[in-house]
Each structure stands twice: as structure tokens, then as C-alpha cells.
Amino acid sequence: MRISRFINSFILFFFPVCISRCFIRIFRIRGITIGDNCRIGFSYINCESLVILDNSSIGHFNIIKIKSLELRGAKIKHFNFVKGNFSLQFDKESWMHSLNKIASDWNEIDRPRRFYLKQGAAVMVKNSFDVTDSITIGEGSLIAGSGSQIWTHAFYLGEKKRPCVIDDVVIGKRCYVGSRVVICSGVHICDDVALGAGVTVAKDILNKGLYVNQPLRFIDYDADSSIENLSMVKDGAFKYYRKNKQKDYR
């Protein structure tokens, strides 16, 4: 499997799409589909499954080493770093600009995870995404500016326990995320929300509107009490925790 993935990466890096498509058909290479009017620049692409449908493109000097990549009429520009045991799916007219990092070092987690841009969603430059669990960005939403972070794992530091909490992040339709926004694990944001620059989002947003930063304030917090409200999840040999709350997934 590793040898075949390396050969596929070599073909995609050194040959134009028209020649790569011929290699795929002649040698009946499995796991790769390339549609019409597609472009692939000088990028390292190493995936078990690669589906690039009509009118999709990948620019120069990207490093993409993941489980599967699916572009449905979408675009990835330049100098992006994407690595981990997860899938990347971009719907029609969605796109990612340059210098973004989408990664996960938690490869021992067996269940499927993905980074998903729905139709018309976009990510600008120099943003960071932790795909320990899935991240979904809704139709027409924009991760604007630069320097924003989305995290899907965290740690609770109690006196006796230090559990790892893992949960996905869902951003609804037509949302705007300004520069240097931090979205924490397990957060669900409804449709039509705008997050101003520098905002930290640590809980669900259920009402549409504009949310901006606030002055520093004290919050009474006890880590051990919070740990008691977590549920343990077993995923193969790996154990982690989730927050106990109901989620309305989109």
C-alpha cells in the first residue's frame, strides 16, 4: 500500500493532469479519479483515495498526506500543509487559500474523521485546524483574514485526573469568522453568525448575530467538578472523554 501510494504521488507531482490520467487508465491504478478540466501543480499528494472531479484544482507546493481527498469542483491554492489519519472533502465552489495547516497527530483513533467544507465555503490564509475530531464548515461560510484556530481536543487538569476531551466542531451556514479567532472543541455555531477579530468561542452559539470580544473577567472554575461531568469513550486501544451535552448536528 505504501509503495503504491508513493508511485501515485510521483506520477501526480511530475506529470501534467492529462498524462497522469493516461497512466491511471493504462495501468488501471485504483484509488484515483481525475475529472475533466482539472489542474494539479507541483504538490506532494499521498492518499489512499483521491477523487478530483471536474473543474477542481490544486496549486503548487502543497503537502497533502491523509486518508482520502475529495474535491467536487473545489480549489486548493498554494503552500498548504494537510497531514493525518482523516479525510478532506470540499464541495462545489468551496476553496482554500494559502499557508493553512490542517493536521492531527492522533493517528491511533480508528473512527472516521474529516475536514469538510460545504458548498461555497472558504478558508483564507495562515489558519490552523486540529482534526483530532471532525470539523464541518457550512455552506457559504468564510474563515476570513488570518491566524484563526479551530481545536477539537483539550485537556482538563484535575488533581487526580488529566483526561483528554475530544469533540467535533460544526459551523453553520453563512457564518463569518474574523482574524485570530479561537474555536474550542465541541463548539456548535448556528447559521448566520459573525465572529469579530480575536474572539474565543468556548461554548455553543445558538442565536444568530454578531459576537465580539469582552474585557478580561474572573470565572469560578473547578477542574475536578468539570471532570465528573465527562463521559469516557473507548476507540480501539485509545480512551478519551466527551462533554455530556446534546448536540444538534447539521
DSSP string, 34-58: E-TT-EE-S-EEEEEEEEE-TT-EE
Domain extent, residue 139, equals 92-243
**What is the predicted pLDDT for the residue at 166?**
94
For position 215, which CATH number holds? 2.160.10.10
Residue 148 lies in a domain: yes
**What is the predicted pLDDT for the residue at 105?**
83
Residue 176 lies in a domain: yes
- The yes-or-no verdict on residue 23 having pLDDT over 70 is no
Q: What is the mean pLDDT of the chain?
A: 88
Residue 46 lies in a domain: yes
Gap between the Cα atoms of 178 and 147, Å rounded? 9
Q: Indicate whether 75 and 144 sit together in one domain.
A: no
- Percentage of the chain exceeding pLDDT 70: 85
SS3 percent helix, strand, coil of the chain, rounded to 5, is 10, 40, 50
Q: Indicate whether 114 and 65 sit together in one domain.
A: no
Residue 199 lies in a domain: yes
**What is the predicted pLDDT for the residue at 117?**
98
Q: What's the whole-number mean pLDDT along residues 182-190?
A: 97
- The yes-or-no verdict on residue 26 having pLDDT over 80 is no
- The yes-or-no verdict on residue 198 having pLDDT over 90 is yes
Residue 170 lies in a domain: yes
**What is the predicted pLDDT for the residue at 11?**
61
> CA-CA-CA-CA torsion for 128, 90, 84, 245, nearest 10 degrees?
70
Residue 113 lies in a domain: yes
Q: Indicate whether 59 and 161 sit together in one domain.
A: no
Number of domains in the chain: 2
Residue 171 lies in a domain: yes
**What is the predicted pLDDT for the residue at 250?**
45
Q: Indicate whether 127 and 230 sit together in one domain.
A: yes
Residue 87 lies in a domain: no
Q: List, for residues 127-183, the tens digit of each pLDDT value.
A: 999 999 999 999 999 999 999 999 999 998 888 888 999 999 999 999 999 999 999
